[in-house]
């Protein structure tokens, strides 16, 4: 197996683990807000995308460190050592939940009961990221074995 290919896959997974969680969380937050408001878009689609951009920018400032730590943990500790796919996805969901707690503590000074929706979306984001990163890791392992 070409080691350049393996390193390229690792780099792609690391970039996915760093940049996708905030994008997924932002999308889930806006989707939740739309559903919660009865799917009414009073301000128009332009304002929706403006809000999405602002949330993304803010999200990377607030949650960038957590995304990097979660990506490193998944890439070097979780994926290579745990063979059970469901366990990996659940661990990723737990890491997402922990990341949500830390963001709430950073933004509000403490984890409050009012932030239960945020924590739920953080855990769902972690689960989604677990599936994405595990599939990518498993494909790379299968390609490495087959060559």
| Residue 63: closest CA among 8, 114, 121 | 121
Q: What CA–CA distance (Å, rounded) separates 42 from 18?
A: 33
CB 125 within 8 A of CB 88: no
Residue 2 has pLDDT above 80, yes or no: no
The CB-side HSE value for 130 (13 A sphere, CA atoms) comes to: 22
pTM: 0.81
Report helix, strand or coil for 27.
Answer: helix
Sheet strands (E) in the chain = none
Phi-psi domain of 53 (left: phi exceeds 0; alpha: psi -120 through 50; beta: other)? alpha
Q: Are 88 and 130 within 8 A, CB to CB?
A: yes
Q: What angle do CA 81, 83, 86 make, to 5 degrees?
A: 120
Asked whether the predicted pLDDT for residue 83 surpasses 80, the reply is yes
Please name which of 117, 93, 101 lies closest in space to residue 28, comparing C-alpha atoms. Answer: 117
Tell me the pLDDT tens digit for each residue of 7-55. 778 999 999 999 999 888 888 877 777 777 665 556 566 666 777 777 7
């Amino acid at each position: 197996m070409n080691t350049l290919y393996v390193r390229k896959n690792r780099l792609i997974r690391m970039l996915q683990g760093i940049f996708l969680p905030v994008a997924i969380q932002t999308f889930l937050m806006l989707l939740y807000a739309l559903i919660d408001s009865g799917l009414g878009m009073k301000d128009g689609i332009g304002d929706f995308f403006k809000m999405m951009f602002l949330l993304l920018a803010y999200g990377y400032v607030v949650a960038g460190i957590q995304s990097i730590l979660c990506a490193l943990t998944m890439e070097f500790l979780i994926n290579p050592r745990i063979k059970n796919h469901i366990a990996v996805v659940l661990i990723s969901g737990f890491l997402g939940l922990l990341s949500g707690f830390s963001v709430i503590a950073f933004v509000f000074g403490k984890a409050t009961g009012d932030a239960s929706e945020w924590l739920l979306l953080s855990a769902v984001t972690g689960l989604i990221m677990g599936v994405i990163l595990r599939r990518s890791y498993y494909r790379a392992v299968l390609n490495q074995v087959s060559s």
